[in-house]
Chain A
Amino acid sequence: MNTLQRGINAMIEQIDAPIATFFTSCVHCGLCADSCLFYTETQDPKFTPIYKLEPLRRIWQQEYTFWGKLMSQLGLSKPVTDAELAAWEPLVYDSCTLCGRCSLACPVGNDIVYMVRKMREGMVASGHAPEGLKGATQRAIGLGSPMGVNLNTLMAHIHNTEKETGLSVPLDKEGADYMMVLSSAEIAEYSEIVSAVTRIFHQAGVSWTMASDGFEGTNSGIQIGSSDLAAELLSRVVRAAERLKVKYVISPECGHAYTALRWEGPNLIGRPYHFEVIHIIELLDQLRSEGRLRTEGLDETRMTFHDPCQMVRRGGVVEQPRNLLHMVAPNFVEMPDAGIQNWCCGGGGGVSANERAEPLRIKVFSRKKAQLDAIGVDTIVTSCSNCRTMLLDGLEHNSMNLNVVGLTELIAEHLAPASK
């Protein structure tokens, strides 16, 4: 098979009842355009979500419909070409963050983002994935992290934390209840997280560990759209967790890591886990409700919360971060469209790793800017390290002077001293 055949074969593999139903239902109303950051901020019709799926639609029609098959038999249909897939590559990767807003907007109920995710399987198999994302995936497979961080980097953070807090950071502790996984951005840039979770878990009395062979949660395979590669990356975490016999794996503050670990993971490896997956924010809220997480002092700063797409629309974690914020932030305000309808930072779904997409990503930050301008806050809290980087980047390009902090760190800053 050449790459084109391989790509088309992958799409034929991926087309299932939902996809066939979605294409059957589409009435070309164009409403999904309004839900897409890339359309609303550019007004370019080619960014209409359903249009990004045109090659997949044609393959469905030609391979899975009565008339389509008939037309193909008669040689009356136009097969999908390599050039076409190449032309669609920027639409499928650069202008889609897999944010899933279109799936909520579609009046006939099409889960458009589900189809984009599936279409990427074919795109990457046909060789049409962005170079930046390819590089990130190669690093993730080869080096263990898309950003090139490794165990040594983590070990340095662990040392610092132990020195700073006087607490020990458990590594490869068999039989712990929880196994913490980090995102590569956290390891590379927001290493305070190691200290934050160490202190919080110490206070709450959580039995936890990290794994030297499964600490990286970021899954570039999901973003580039290859289940094969995603499975390889994910299986490292699964192996470590099952080796250490933990009950739970904690997903880091990283949207796609959560999706990969929580929802796609068992399907990627083809079996259920022997553990459960919980997002760090879910766990913190759970500790709060059990009275095990106690804070003191308030941060009077006017702050807001940026909902990561994979947490809310694709993850169902909406209330938990707010419960936590209310513990420490009396001046917390919601952005317009907060919660399930929040607008993407612009860098999800692999866009942040795709240098070619950067100008477009910066341009569409105007939506986030408008949301922020509407409420006038000083600090943005979020629970996704990729969102955090994208927000910082966007703010800088727009000369906006706002702080961006991770929610876990914010809680850790206000942690009450251990009472006993």
Chain B
Amino acid sequence: MIINVEVADPYSVGNIAAILSEIASRLGTLADGGETSLIDLKSLPLSSGEYEHLRFTLGRGEVTASLDAIGMSEIVETQFSGVWWITHYNDQGDIVADLIEIATIPNILLSQPEDMRTGLALLHAIISRPASSHD
């Protein structure tokens, strides 16, 4: 027996339009020199179809970055400049945070002063180390 499962347009439920207009309004604010902002996709009621639809609509733009820190993170500028899709994964590859950031550059990509100082200390240690120690 074949059960014909037909899914009517999963996008017709109207949640996508609301998210897109929210993104548009925030992007407008940013373009006018306003503040950056974040949308937590996990807090929104999205069916899997809608999620895919959102991903498809926003698309991929010019920049893609990845971060490897307690699991991978994927940072993608969507086809709309200033709208970034940030997905944090854990070691097992599960999504632990899924965010839309409206910013000139996502905060997570910026190098952190603490890390810079750690790096700097390490760099100094390398410089001050005698050449002989290189085995």
| Complex A–B touching at CB under 8 A | no
